[in-house]
Every structure is written in structure tokens, then in C-alpha cells.
Amino acid sequence: MHHVILGAGPAGVIAADTLRKHDAGAKITLMSAEDEPPYSRMAIPYFLSSQIDEEGTYLRQDHGHYKNQGIELLRARAGAVDANNQTIALEDGGEVQYDRLLIATGASPVHPRVEGLDLPGVHTCWTLEDARAILDRAHKGDDVVLMGAGFIGSIILEALVSRDVKLNVVEMGDRMVARMMDETAGGMLKRWCEEHGVAVLTGTRITQITRSKDRLDVALSSGKSLRAKLVVVAAGIAPNIGFLEGSGIKTRQGVKVDGFMRTSAPHVYAAGDVAQAKDLSTGEFSVLAIQPVAADHGRIAALNMAGHATPHAGSLNMNVLATIGLVSSSFGAWDGVEGGMSAATSDADAYRYLRLEFDGDRLAGAQGVGLTDHIGVARGLIGTRLRLGRWKDVLMKSPERLAEAYVACAQGIR
């Protein structure tokens, strides 16, 4: 049995390890298009802030891990998949035959149609190579413009601040992290940034970037312009599915998979940022490009590839973010469900906020700012669909008693 995994991010690496555990005799090939040991994109901000070196971003810290596990690392990019003949054509020639294939090719940054995004000094922040370029250019006192204050942009924001650059953030949406939190939370984050000397221009587009000598001029929809030595683009990401065109493997937003992480082609599976899989909150199939979901997908896909039928009941969307030290998080249907009830508590001066969303007497979503203690119980409550009974009334009055409610219900204290 030859298992081939396209992509050496978390989904791919976890799948490879899981396959080894459950299919001891199989041949496992882990393909990476980047010339680096398998690493974590999520760790890049901490590399930028010099908290860790490059090695600190590696997904497996044991140098001999892949060799010891009998996982062959192959530096190659897939050009096309022939699902009938079970072969992968490599971009630089050659072919790989597979018995089981996992598509874990991840996602890539989106480049908005803005003139000047291809200029030197304009970078995305997605790969280690990007990170090296940013490290070269972002030094103390340098003018830096960050395009995008979504989840990824906001994480990069913290890393850039730690490098003591002069930072301006430009976000076309009406608030920060609009796909992760509501107006109250987004507003709190923006105010926090401004209080810490970072200008956040929401409702503003970058219309053009021009270069004169070693300086970039960033024109804004407001008519103003910003000067910069470096522009970092974080305008969203999209699944890497282009190479599947003509393969017959069904794609839409991402690669469509069923409840066992199988694609439309026999013996072909998908996992991670590239997979359009079941969302536990909505019941729909969508791309949830986050680390814990990639980890779940990779493991479940691998179990199925190894012949252990393992259903994927759906993944929960969740995010955690630190913005210049202010921690925020959101889980599931943080914006509520139809007909559900909502409870919130906030202390704007203390930068604390918690909003819970219910579906009947079950927790459906949560978001918080300035809270970290036991916040994982939100995942527990949403994921188990645990009925809260009278504890729902307690939470409607005192949302901050969430962990208590979880423990009580788990212990049968109704």
C-alpha cells in the first residue's frame, strides 16, 4: 500500500503520523512544494517577533522524526492528478503512483487587484520565505503598512508591533476581525491598538501602491496616502485547488469531501485548508482554514485511508488571537442562530467582553475579549451539544459563569 500525501502542513504531517500508527507496513510519501522541513505557518508570527528561530516553527521537533517513522519526504509540486490511473504528474516532470491519495495542499494568500502589489517591498506573510523577507525589511522605526486586519492580519500585526516598526493598518471592512467577532469586540480591538500607538484605518481601501527610490507610497480610498518601507498584504487566503482542474475531482470553494473525508474520486481524500468539509455549527460543507480543524481532518482522513472507517461529524470553527497582548477568541455560531437567544457582558474600560449564543438550551457560539481561563469549555459545550437546562438561565444573567455551567452539567449538578 502506497499512501501519498500532497502538502506537508499540519494536516499532511498529522495524516502521515496517523497512517504510520495504523498501517505499519505501508509506504508513506509526504510531498512538499516548499524547500523547507515541514513547518507551521501559525508559528511564523513568533518567528517574526524573534521568540523562536526557524527551527521553532517545525511541526516535528525531533530531527529524525520522518526517517524514524518511515515517512519519505519528497520535495515536489503536484501539477495534475489522474484519478483513473491513480497517478500524480509532478510539475517538474515525473510521476508518482498512489494507492491512497490525500490532498492537503492548503491555501495561498489572495492578491487583490490593486496596482503596485507586485512591487519590491510588498510581501504577503504566509511562508517562511515571506517571513525572511519581512525580517529583512522591518526594523525599529521603519514605516510599515499592513493591508488587512482579519484574523491573519491581526496576528501579523502583533508580530510587527513587537519589531518596533511604525505601523499603519488598513482594513477595507468596517471593523477588525469581522469574520471572527462582532462590532463590540472588533471595536474594542481597534481602540486597544490605537491606545498602543497603532493606527487602524477601517472602512479604507488601498487603491494604489507606487515606488519612488526606496520608498513606497500607499494611496488610500480616503484620498490620503501613507509612506512605507514595507507593505504586508494579508487580504485573505484561498484553497490551492488549481492543479485539480480537469481531474474530475469535484471542487467548489475547496475540494469537496464526504463524511469520511473522501473526495468524489475513489481512493482520494482531502484534509485541512483545502478541504470543503462538514461544519459542525451549520451542518453545511465549507472551508474552515484553521489549525485545529486541519489537525482533525488529517487524522480522520488518515484513519479512513488506513481502512478504519471513521466518520467526520463536523468541525467547529474557532479562533484565538492576541493583539498586542489582548487575547480574544470565538467559537462556532458566534453571531447567533435563527431563533436563538443571546447573552453578553462587557466592560469596555477593562477590555473585557463575553457574548454567548444559544440554540434552545444548548450553547451554539461564543466570543470573548480579555478572557482566557477555561475558555476551551466553549468548544466542549458546543461540540457535545450538552443541554444546559437551568444553567442556561444562569448564563443568560451571568455569561461569565460558563466554565462553572460546563462542570456542573458534566457532573450532573442540575
Partner 1 sequence: MQKALVIDPVKCTGCKQCELACSYVKEGEFNPAKSRIRVFDFHQDARFVPYTCTQCAEAWCQRACPVDAITTNEWGVKEVHDGLCVGCKVCIIACPFGTVNYNASTGKVIKCDECGGDPACVKACPTDAIIYMDVEQAGFGKMRQWAAKTDTAAQATQ
Binding site for partner 1 (CB under 8 A): 10, 14, 40, 42-43, 46, 51-52, 56-62, 280, 291-292, 295-296, 299-300, 303, 310-315, 318-320, 322, 325, 327, 329, 331, 372-380, 383-384, 403-404, 406-408, 410-411, 413
- DSSP state for residue 174 in the 8-state scheme: S
Min CB(357)–partner 1 separation in Å: 16
| Nearer CB in complex with partner 1: 160/216 | 160
Least distance between partner 1 and beta carbon 36 (Å): 14
Dig out the grid coordinates for 355 from the structure.
Answer: 457574548
Q: Which is nearer to partner 1, 11 or 226 (CB)?
A: 11
**How near is the Cβ of 221 to partner 1 at its closest, in Å?**
33
Q: Which is nearer to partner 1, 60 or 191 (CB)?
A: 60
Q: Exposed (0-12), middle (13-18) or buried (19+): which is 183, by Cβ within 10 Å?
A: exposed
- Cβ distance 171 to 202 under 8 Å? yes
In the complex with partner 1, which residue's Cβ is closer, 45 or 186? 45
- CA 307 – CA 397 distance, rounded (Å): 48
* CA torsion through residues 110, 115, 119, 122, sign: negative
Task: Please state, in angstroms and as integers, the Cα–Cα distance from residue 291 to each residue in 63, 89, 305, 375, following that order.
Answer: 22, 28, 21, 17
Q: Phi first, then psi: give them for residue 12, nearest 5 degrees.
A: -65, -45
Spatial strand order in the sheet of 27-32? 71-75, 27-32, 2-6, 100-103, 268-270
Q: CB of residue 322 vs partner 1: minimum separation in angstroms?
A: 7
Closest approach of Cβ 209 to partner 1, in Å?
30
Residue with Cβ nearer partner 1 (88 or 280):
280
Shortest Cβ 281–partner 1 spacing (Å): 13
The count of C-alpha atoms lying within 13 angstroms of the C-alpha of 140, restricted to the half-sphere facing its C-beta, is 0
- Residue closer to partner 1 (CB basis): 145 or 161: 161
